[in-house]
Amino acid sequence: MAVTSQNELIWQGRLHIGDEPGIHGDAAYAGLGAELPFTIHRSDPAAQDFQVVLTTRDLVTFAGFPGHEITVFRYLPDPNQQFHSIQQIAATARFTTADHDTKAVTVHVGTDAGPFRLSVRLRADTTVNPGLYNDFVWRKLALKVSNFQFFASFGFDAS
């Protein structure tokens, strides 16, 4: 059987990230960053990794700066307190001009059964002086997997 890779859309919209409100007037202004929650379900018990793919428009970074910060968080039940959770960093990356408005971040979840409650935060590079931050639009969040090993839904599944 051939291995096929495909992107599953989790979210699509227009979030303006940056420090100059109104630059992208047709997008909701989110300020210096935005964080989106989603749930991943496992279809293949052997699969341990997937990618989240962020798509933007007009994302630019200056030479010598690290780029816009992507952080993927995983939320786990707190074994010491019922109805509490622990937020863990599952993956990090930097989004730069060289990514051409599309960045895939690999997330390793191991052999846990799931479902996996995660969020991805995209934050403007604030190592640049205020007033010079890049203003860009976050357009899509997708899940990239092979052979339907995982599937996603937007928001946290409370089951």
Burial class (CB in 10 A: 0-12, 13-18, 19+), 50: buried
Looking at residue 1, its pLDDT comes to 43
Question: If you classify domain 5-154 with CATH, what class do you get?
Answer: mainly beta
pLDDT, tens digit, for every residue of 45-66? 999 999 999 999 999 999 999 9
pTM above 0.75, yes or no: yes
How does DSSP classify residue 129?
A: P
> What six digits make up the tokens of 64?
């010598």
